Chain A
Amino acid sequence: EVQLVESGGGLVQPGRSLKLSCAASGFTFSNYYMAWVRQAPKKGLEWVATISTSGSRTYYPDSVKGRFTISRDNAKSSLYLQMNSLKSEDTATYYCAREGPDYWGQGVMVTVSS
């Protein structure tokens, strides 16, 4: 059974950093592109980042480019999202997802507020 479990969320002040993690199981992690998708409270879905199987290629929308960094550790079947220079508009539930995306984690809440 495919499982994706996010962690690392919480309350952070504007301008600070936070790193999210996603532990994957139930499939061969290194064979799949992975992504982060977020959802602001009571809002729709927004794609945040994608990473290739080896980690050599990453993709971001303009809204987070230069501030967020997606990475992975295939040996640990883990996906990460380093978020720097956080803004109030980054407040959202962040989902880890397998390419497709077909499977999603349960999400982790990030609140950016002073």
Chain B
Amino acid sequence: DVVMTQTPVSLPVSLGGQASISCRSSQSLVHSNGNTYLHWYLQKPGQSPQLLIYRVSNRFSGVPDRFSGSGSGTDFTLKISRVEPEDLGDYYCLQSTHFPNTFGAGTKLELK
């Protein structure tokens, strides 16, 4: 199985500041069709996960442009600029290029 290594585990931030979360995969996430199926989710306390970014860098419907995704191959990053209170929670990366789908262990974004 593809192992998704997500860092850091915990990320203290100040409101209005910037946050960066890394996700590294144990093998390339480039599919044979040329697409890279790496996605980012936010799970707010007591809620189900919500899709933020799909296929590395595409913001899902309604996601503010403060969120951006980048990367290629095995190395991916989610950046959050101008952090707001509603951004706090657990962030997960997911790869669906290789069977079985695998998630990163999560990053808790919390107030400094």
- Measured CB to CB, the residues of A under 8 A from B are 37, 44-47, 50, 59-62, 95, 100-107
Contacts and interface: CB of A to CB of B under 8 A. Distances in A.
Interface residues of B, number: 21
B48 A105 contact: yes
B103 A102 contact: no
B49 A95 contact: yes
Interface of B: 1, 39, 41, 43, 47-51, 54, 60, 92, 94, 99-106
B51 A101 contact: yes
Nearest to A35: B101
Nearest to B101: A47
Given A46-B103, A59-B100, A100 B54 contact: yes
A45 B48 contact: no
28 contacts: A37-B49, A44-B106, A45-B41, A45-B43, A45-B49, A45-B92, A47-B100, A47-B101, A47-B102, A47-B103, A50-B101, A59-B100, A60-B100, A61-B1, A61-B100, A62-B100, A95-B48, A95-B49, A100-B39, A100-B51, A100-B54, A101-B51, A102-B51, A102-B60, A103-B51, A104-B50, A106-B48, A107-B48
